[in-house]
Amino acid sequence: MLHLIDRRPSSRGRSAVNRERFLRRYKSHIQDAVKKMVGERSLADMERGGEVRVPKKDISEPSFGFGRGGDREFVLPGNREFVAGDRIERPQGGAGGGGNGNAGEGDSEDAFVFSLSREEFMQIFFDDLELPNLARTEFGRTEQKKSVRAGFAKTGVPANLAIVRTLRQSLARRIALGGSLARELLALEAEFAVAVAVGEAQRAADIYEQLERITRRRGDLPFIDEPDLRYRNRVWRPEPIARAVMFCLMDVSASMDEEKKDLAKRFFTLLYLFLTRKYGEVDLVFIRHTDDAEEVDEQTFFHDTRSGGTVVFSALDLADKIRAERYARGWNVYVAQASDGDAFGADPARSARFLREKLLPATRYYAYLELAPPHSGDHPSSLWAEYERVAEATDNLAMRRASERDQIYPVFRELFRKESQ
Amino acid sequence: MNALDSMSPISHGADWDFDLIERYDVEIGKVASEFGLDTYPNQVEIITSEQMLDAYASSGLPIGYPHWSYGKEFIRNEQAYRRGMQGLAYEIVINSSPCIAYLMEENTMATQALVIAHACYGHNSFFKGNHLFRQWTDAEAILDYLVFARRYVMECEERKGAEAVEEVLDACHALMAHGVDRYRRPAAPTLKAETARLAAREAHRERQFNDLWRTLPERNAAIRNDATECFPTEPQENILYFVEKHSPKLEPWQRELVRIVRKLAQYFDPQAQTKVMNEGWATFWHYTILNRLHEKRLVDDGFMLEMLKSHTNVIAQPAYDSKAYSGLNPYALGFALFSDLRRICERPDDEDRAWFPEIAGSDWHKTLDFAMRNFKDESFIGQYLSPRLIRDFHLFAIADHAEESELVVDSIHDERGYRRVRKLLAQQHAQDVRVPDVQVLRYERDGDRSLTLRHHRRRGRPLTEAAAQVVAHLRRLWGFAVRLETWDGETRVGDVVECAG
């Protein structure tokens, strides 16, 4: 007797929990691998999954087993040329695959390699990171309202009339009110027919009058009456603002050499990946500047080269203009600026003032990454010094310095560490 | 013309549906009972390839406790499968009652029928009949036990944290091969039996009483004192059992985890000891049953061709120097052994009469049934590997001795070599070739509570480096120092692996 069960619809991914445990156990390995991948990869394919190698010795499950050495015999199939007593040179890497356990280990390598899915890669990549202040915004500011359906109402504007619902009401009312009249009519009609047949003219006339009256009353029932009307009801519900716009400002002046640009590009790539993954609705504005600023598309921003002087103010000014123009209401504004801080003359002071007075109040968070040349020590730029004063007065400006490629990721993590509020 | 000829095939083509599977099962079941196969009830579950990978990871068990090593196994299999380096098994079957077999939805009708014959009647009857399974596993209870084990492990994780549980399980897994009983432990005597035994002994002593014995000087008193101090009195080969019962530090929940792993190890042990027989038996029966269906005209020729293609793939045995070689194929060897056994019964030649006088020409049903019930791989090969099979497989034995600079061909498939090859192949499937002999030697119960293990080294074969890690794992379970000594006969050799307390 066969008991047949279709298991296909159920319990998919039963091993998911085990896989997750495996990943957790080797988290440090995986994080190292991810860090390395971030350092090595070109920007374009940052978003792929990746291969992780864990040394076999770290992953093995030890048990007592036989090592090499000692005496043993083993039986193999497929003898063609040997006779008893033949001597064979010992093959490299142990004595063939004896019939038992050893055979399965033929593929031994020095590492257990497995691939992370894109999801898992990003998960580890952005582990514990959260856009700063966004949570607070969600509950703090409810500026935006959204119109949502809320059933039907008895009052409303004609444009919102729900015709089907109204007719249903009307039908119900007509059935309810007209039912007894209809029954009366039927009875009277029968009586009328009898009266006519019997020839009682007077009685027939009376009944006919009654019939007339009732038919009129029935006709008086309105097809649509005031109480039938139903209107589609919409209410305004306050909607948290989860939309964000990220301004990416980058200095592409002559003092930004290829290496610094590369660092900046990495910083923005990380931001970009982070934003597009974490928040459904994120606008990105790319502004690059030399002595004047321009808004460019992403491709140009990352891949086009240009040179000239440095006027930071131009970029800040343009960013503020775009913000006022396009993102004035209902957006969380974030600005990330990458520069070597190599600004001259009045520009740093002017930029800092503009930042403090105009841009920062309208911004949720402002991240400034200063790309110091390697081995520059702790000698901050003029722009850094000016910004530092601004940062002391406000809490939504963060500043970091980085000089090496592999410092980018930690910097990024630090800037956007999940707020422990 | 007989009545059979009038029967028409159950189905044509590759498509299957649930009704067809049931109809095939009915017919296969009829043939199986014709041949006298005794089985547990069957439960067949249709699964996807993804679920098959899941099942791989947990050795086919429908319910398993969560552990990272299963995740690792899953990842390994999945990658091999994705890259096309490995196909998936058509089926997995587990030893339970009802006997659960998994069928993949991708299989064709012919393959499903093959799998039903193979798993639901072949393996199933082996599970029910073979003495190792009968003695050591309880097919009725395993599913309930698995449910219990999973729930218990998860509860522990909740109460004690996943890391703490993982640590215990890791340590137990390292010792899994040494958590198996090979001989029945006598049941603890009941109070009544124990009292009766003591009374009988007392009566015996009274009958034998002679005051003269008292006057003899007492010899060996010192030695006997030593003996009482040594615990355990006999070396214990089931290390996990010893840990479970005697570990000074384990908390009750940890003890229960050790027990769970030990029980599972015990459950899987017969499968490791009967791999060749089990697969051979199932392969022999799917082949025999489906051929019988074809004889009865219940399946068409296309069905048979497809079945034969799968069948020949399964029983292919590449030569040792072929790229495809990965050890002796248990399906091939097992199938050949059972088929040959049938041949010896039905059409013996002189050689068979000389080698197997007691079974040549006997009833093959009975002979095969006896073989299936009463052997394990080691004894089965030792008993039934015929010279003809040795010739067919071109088996030869290589001696790999430490003092020789080269390998030596020990024996081949010739008159002088048959018995030697057979003996060596049987030994190759023996327990002590698969698992090193490591036993609990001493537990310093009254001293520093350290535990001493003894590796009984045979023929100079050392342990792998991993031994140190296993000892470290055991140290974690034991809570005090653990030592591993290597003995060759009566002398201690090599370094002591020690993990201090």
Is the separation of the CB atoms in A130 and A66 below 8 Å?
A: no
Domain ranges of chain A: 158-234, 244-415
Q: A72-76 and B396-400 as β-strands: parallel, antiparallel, unpaired?
A: antiparallel
Whether the predicted pLDDT of A104 surpasses 50: no
Q: Does A109 touch chain B (CB under 8 A)?
A: no
Whether A52 and A115 have beta carbons less than 8 Å apart is answered as yes
Of B342, B325, B324, residue with least CA distance to B334: B342
In B230-259, which positions are buried (b, 16+ CB within 10 angstroms) versus exposed (e)?
Answer: eeeeebbbbbbbbbbebbeebeebbbbbbb
Q: Chain A neighbours among B 210-269 (CB < 8 Å)?
A: none
Contact A252, A288 (CB under 8 A): yes
When scoring A6, A11, A15, A89 by the number of chain B Cβ atoms within 10 A, the one with the most, hence best to mutate, is A15
Q: Across the interface, do A75 and B396 touch by the CB < 8 Å criterion?
A: yes
B contacts of A83 (beta carbons < 8 Å): 409, 412, 414
Q: How many CA atoms lie within 13 A of A140 on its CB side?
A: 8
**ipTM of the complex in this document:** 0.80
Comparing CB atoms, the residue among B178, B416, B434 nearest residue A100 is B434
Å from A24 to nearest chain B CA? 9
Specify whether the CB–CB gap between B375 and B277 falls below 8 A.
Answer: yes
**Any chain B CB within 8 A of the CB of A1?**
yes
Residue A393, burial from CB neighbour count under 10 angstroms (0-12, 13-18, 19+): exposed
Q: Is A107 in CB contact (< 8 Å) with chain B? A: no
The DSSP symbol for B122 reads: I
Helix, strand or coil for residue A314? helix
DSSP-derived letter for residue A381 is -
**Nearest-10 Cα torsion for A271, A274, A279, A285:** 20
Residue of A315, A363, A374 lying closest to A343 (CA atoms)? A315
CATH of A244-415, one of 2.70.40.10, 3.40.50.410, 3.30.930.10, 3.30.572.10: 3.40.50.410
Nearest residue to B257 (alpha-carbon basis) of B183, B187, B179: B179
Residues 6+ apart with CB under 8 A from B219: none
- Token pair, residue B106, equals 């991708």
d(CA A96, CA A77): 12
- Per residue in A161-196, pLDDT (tens digit) is 899 999 999 999 988 888 888 888 888 888 888 888
Q: Pick A78's closest partner by Cβ from B58, B394, B411.
A: B394
Helix H or strand E encompassing A37: helix A27-40
A67 touches chain B (CB under 8 A): yes
Q: Cα distance from B210 to chain A (closest Cα, Å)?
A: 53
B466 Cα to chain A: minimum distance (Å): 5
The reply to whether residue A18 touches residue B74, judged by beta carbons under 8 angstroms, is: yes
The CA distance from B345 to the nearest CA of chain A, in Å, is 25
- Indicate the residue of A62, A67, A101 with minimum beta-carbon distance to B462: A67
> How far, in Å, CA of B156 to CA of A416, rounded?
36
Token reading at B352: 């068979």
Per-residue pLDDT in tens (0 to 9) along chain B, 501 residues: 344 444 677 888 778 888 888 999 999 999 999 899 999 999 888 888 888 887 777 777 777 888 888 888 888 887 777 666 666 677 788 888 888 888 888 888 888 899 899 999 999 999 999 998 988 888 888 888 988 998 999 999 999 988 899 989 999 999 998 988 887 766 777 888 888 988 998 888 888 877 777 777 766 555 555 555 678 888 888 999 999 999 888 899 999 999 999 999 998 888 889 999 999 999 999 999 999 999 988 888 988 998 999 899 889 899 988 888 888 899 999 999 999 999 999 999 999 999 999 888 889 999 999 999 999 999 999 999 999 999 999 999 999 888 888 888 988 888 888 999 999 999 989 887 888 899 998 888 888 888 999 998 888 888 888 888 899 999 988 989 999 999 888 888 877 888 776
Pairing of strands B482-488, B406-411: unpaired
Give residue-wise pLDDT tens across range A257-315.
Answer: 777 777 777 777 777 666 665 565 677 888 888 878 888 887 777 667 677 777 888 88
pLDDT given for residue A139 in this prediction? 37
Provide the shortest C-alpha distance from residue A250 to chain B (in Å).
Answer: 42
Residues 155-174 of B with CB under 8 A from A: 162, 166, 170, 173-174
CB contact under 8 A, A61 and B425: no
Return the residue of A nearest to B46 by Cα.
A6
DSSP B320-378: TTSTT--S--HHHHHHHHHHHHHHHHHS--HHHHHH-TTTTTS-HHHHHHHHHHH--HH
Tell me whether residues B402 and A70 touch, CB distance under 8 A: yes
Q: What is the pTM of this model?
A: 0.68
Bridge partner list, A88: B407
Neighbour-count burial of B135, counting CB atoms closer than 10 A to its CB (0-12 exposed, 13-18 middle, 19+ buried): exposed
A62/B50 Cβ within 8 A: no
pLDDT at B390: 93
- The per-residue pLDDT for range B404-456, each reduced to its tens digit, is 888 889 888 888 889 999 999 999 898 878 888 999 988 888 888 889 999 98
Q: Is the pLDDT of residue A402 over 60?
A: yes
Residue with tokens 């355990």: B232
Is A88 in contact with B74 (Cβ distance < 8 A)? no
Distance, CA of A244 to chain centre: 12
Burial status of residue B376 (CB atoms within 10 A of its CB: 0-12, 13-18, 19 or more):
buried
- The answer to whether the CB of B90 falls within 8 A of the CB of B120 is no
The pLDDT score that the predictor gives to residue A97 is 41
